[in-house]
């Protein structure tokens, strides 16, 4: 059986599967459920001293939407959107530290790691909460730069990660006060994610989580109102390609360890995140939708894949796909591809003719034909209802 253990920012995890800082880690009982599934670790729900954020504990709102952005009623589709505005840890700082201490003790007995999460209301409070979490025994700290925190005059503002200057100062100040590794959880809403991550890395961040959720808005058109009264964090399987891109870009540019988050729903997604550079993979929405038992399924699926492929350790796949991800300039140098139609399976529906925006498919004797104008984009093969179109040859 392949070894699932990984090293992440100097800390060893028995496997790369983690529970994100969210409702599935909202208290000791929630973290215990995850740890009992055998995962490598949990990131506790963020603690904040921002009153406006603390008050949200009395008004959490969530909607699970299907492919048509209609509310799901029981039958979970494969592709869904989870939009929510939820609360931070509701306890006092002292109460939360007792929960953390209990969770750390339970995790250590089961070879799991507890990571503390911080979302302060001032520079001093970020540092103070971090110090308290370290004293409570957490192995690492995750600074939550992806959720709206405080702005001018104590008002709620945008994600901290969008303010590079403040983010760098916060990392530097925290790094001076704690000895455990610091992870920066970035917002995906950055103009240049590599540059922003690079700045906090230079400031002392030991690792980065890519990424927190996008802020979005979903409307009920029958009522002309938002589903959750306003803007909220958006997650779900639809976001995976965006997260893969972020992980790939940062992994290629910087030597900072990465924890992948946002969009992973099963063991295959976990492997994809790792193949583009993540050392650990966080799960949240999928666990909320399908239950904690999903975590065991993910571990079993990863193990079976690694054994089938002949890997000795999961660390062998970290970043393995990046060498095959080409830049636009490199793609332009590739040999052109051509497609062909299987006449026996073709039903002459004409879908491919309508779908070819390069004018490379034409009617000939009442049947569609792919001409020499084909550029090999492959869109027609996706549109064909009978799978009658396939790649034929490369033309040089």
Res 158: pLDDT: 59
For residue 183, the cross-strand partners are 142, 207
Res 393: pLDDT: 60
**Single pTM value for the model:** 0.94
The domains spanning 6-324 and 330-394 adopt the same CATH topology: no
> What's the average pLDDT block by block, 10 residues per block, for the chain (396 residues)?
97 98 96 98 92 74 94 94 84 96 98 95 91 98 77 52 86 97 94 96 98 92 92 93 98 98 98 98 97 98 98 98 94 89 95 96 94 94 96 64
Res 231: pLDDT: 87
Helix ranges (DSSP H) in 254-373? 267-275, 285-290, 293-309, 328-331, 351-355
Residue 319 phi/psi, 5-degree rounding, is 75, 5
How is domain 6-324 classified at the architecture level of CATH?
A: Alpha-Beta Barrel (3.20)
Which residues fall within 8 angstroms of residue 202, CB to CB, at 6 or more apart? 168
Domain ranges of the chain: 6-324, 330-394
* Active-site amino acid positions: 147
Q: How far apart are alpha carbons 44 and 142 in whole angstroms?
A: 9
Instruction: Find the length of the chain.
Output: 396
Structure tokens at 197: 């991550």
Please report, for residues 250, 321, 339, the alpha-carbon distance to residue 334 in angstroms, rounded to integers and kept in the order given. Answer: 25, 18, 16
Res 164: pLDDT: 86
330-394 has which fold?
Alpha-Beta Plaits (3.30.70)
- 368 contacts 348 by C-beta, under 8 angstroms: yes
Strand duo 389-394 + 337-341: pairing: antiparallel
**Which residue has tokens 């550029």?**
375
Burial class (CB in 10 A: 0-12, 13-18, 19+), 2: buried
Q: How far apart are alpha carbons 31 and 101 in whole angstroms?
A: 12
């Amino acid at each position: 059986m392949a070894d699932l253990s990984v090293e992440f920012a100097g800390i060893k995890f028995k496997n790369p599967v983690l529970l994100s800082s969210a409702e599935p880690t909202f208290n000791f009982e929630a973290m215990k459920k995850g740890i009992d599934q055998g995962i490598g670790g949990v990131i506790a729900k963020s603690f904040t001293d921002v009153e406006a954020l603390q008050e949200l504990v009395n008004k959490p709102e969530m909607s699970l939407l299907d492919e048509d952005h209609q509310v799901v009623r029981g039958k979970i589709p494969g592709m869904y959107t989870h939009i929510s505005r939820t609360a931070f840890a509701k306890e006092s700082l002292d109460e939360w530290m007792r929960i953390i201490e209990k969770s750390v003790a339970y995790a250590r007995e089961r070879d799991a790691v507890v990571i503390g999460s911080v979302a302060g209301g001032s520079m001093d409070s970020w540092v103070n909460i971090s110090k308290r979490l370290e004293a409570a025994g957490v192995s690492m700290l995750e600074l939550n730069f992806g959720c709206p925190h405080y702005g001018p005059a104590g008002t709620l503002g945008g994600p901290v990660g969008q303010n590079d200057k403040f983010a760098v100062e916060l990392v530097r100040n925290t790094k001076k006060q704690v000895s455990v590794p610091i992870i920066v959880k970035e917002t995906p809403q950055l103009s240049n994610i590599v540059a922003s991550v690079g700045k906090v890395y230079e400031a002392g961040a030991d690792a980065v989580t890519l990424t927190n959720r996008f802020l979005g808005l979903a409307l009920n058109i029958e009522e002309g109102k938002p589903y959750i009264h306003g803007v909220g964090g958006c997650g779900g399987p639809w976001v995976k390609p965006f997260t893969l891109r972020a992980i790939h870009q940062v992994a290629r540019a910087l030597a900072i360890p990465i924890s992948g988050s946002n969009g992973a729903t099963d063991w295959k997604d976990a492997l994809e995140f790792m193949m583009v550079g993540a050392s650990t993979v966080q799960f949240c929405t999928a666990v909320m939708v399908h239950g904690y038992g999903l975590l065991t399924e993910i571990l079993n699926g990863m193990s079976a894949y690694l054994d089938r492929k002949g890997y000795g350790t999961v660390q062998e796949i970290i970043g393995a796909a990046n060498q095959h991800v080409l830049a636009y300039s490199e793609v332009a140098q590739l040999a052109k591809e051509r497609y062909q139609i299987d006449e026996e399976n073709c039903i002459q529906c004409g879908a491919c003719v309508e779908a070819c925006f390069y004018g490379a498919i034409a009617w000939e004797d009442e049947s569609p034909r792919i001409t020499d104008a084909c550029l090999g984009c492959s869109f027609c093969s996706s549109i064909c209802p009978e799978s009658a179109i396939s790649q034929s040859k490369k033309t040089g």
